[in-house]
Amino acid sequence: MNKKSILFKGMLDGLHIHVEPDIGLETLKESLEAKFKKGERFFEGTSVNLIFTGKKFSQEEKRHILDFISPQINLGTIKFSENTNEEKSDSQYFDGIEEGMTRFYRGTIRNGQRISYEGNVVVIGDVNPGGEVIAGGNIVIFGALRGMAHAGASGNHEAIVVAFCLQPTQLRIGSIITRPPEGDTSKPSYPELARIKDGNLIIEPCLPGRGK
């Protein structure tokens, strides 16, 4: 199957799924299942709006799609648009990490609490052990990160994680995952930045004139 036959785009109003007219229902279902499985942690606990564009679906096909999707994600709204010339303004897409949608959370993320967002996430507070932050883009913690952080959850390896005190129980960017070393380790008195370099997840000082 041509990768461009089914396109997924995260937009302000939800996840847009562009389907070429010649794509069959089973092929679409396989692609949806793969997408939901890949982003399982990202979709978990989040209501997702889906907008299908490009292909004209029959009422029976729409029902099959709804029945197929409902058990897999927490579905918000679902819309079928037959407009193949739908305007795709770059300002609506969250394709990169330099700018775009950002969720701000003020307060401490405690054990058992999860913050998940399709764009960037900024936490003004600490992330305690057992707390989780999952973002499609960057994660910035104005405090201590002692829980789990997963940036670039949709597969963007250009994403970064920044924290005033970077001591995560688990740190992940895209599909690259790392855990802290065993035992007590001293932490610097300056913020640190985690990113992917040459296929490895590295941590470096986050200071003016330093790093990326």
Convert the pLDDT of each residue in 100-141 to its tens digit.
678 899 999 999 999 988 888 999 999 999 999 998 889 999
Run of H or E including 145 = strand 139-145
Contact at 8 Å (CB) between 82 and 52?
A: no
What is the C-alpha separation between 93 and 106, in angstroms, rounded? 25
**If phi over 0 gives left and psi between -120 and 50 gives alpha, with beta otherwise, what is residue 4?**
alpha
Residue-range domains of the chain with CATH: 3-92 (3.30.750), 102-205 (2.160.20.70)
**196-208 pLDDT tens trace:** 988 889 999 987 6
Say yes or no to pLDDT of 54 above 70. Answer: yes
pTM for the structure as a whole: 0.58
**64-91 pLDDT tens trace:** 999 999 888 888 788 888 664 444 443 3
Residue 182 has a pLDDT of 61
Choose between 88 and 6: higher pLDDT.
6
Tokens describing residue 148: 């789990």
Residue 193 has a pLDDT of 93
Q: Which of 12, 17, 75, 65 is nearest to 43 (CA)?
A: 75
What is the signed CA dihedral for 132, 136, 142, 143, rounded to 10 degrees? 20
Give 177: exposed, middle or buried? Use CB within 10 Å, 0-12, 13-18, 19+. Answer: exposed
Residue 49 DSSP one-character state:
E
39-48 burial, b at 16+ Cβ within 10 Å, e below that, comes to beebbeebeb
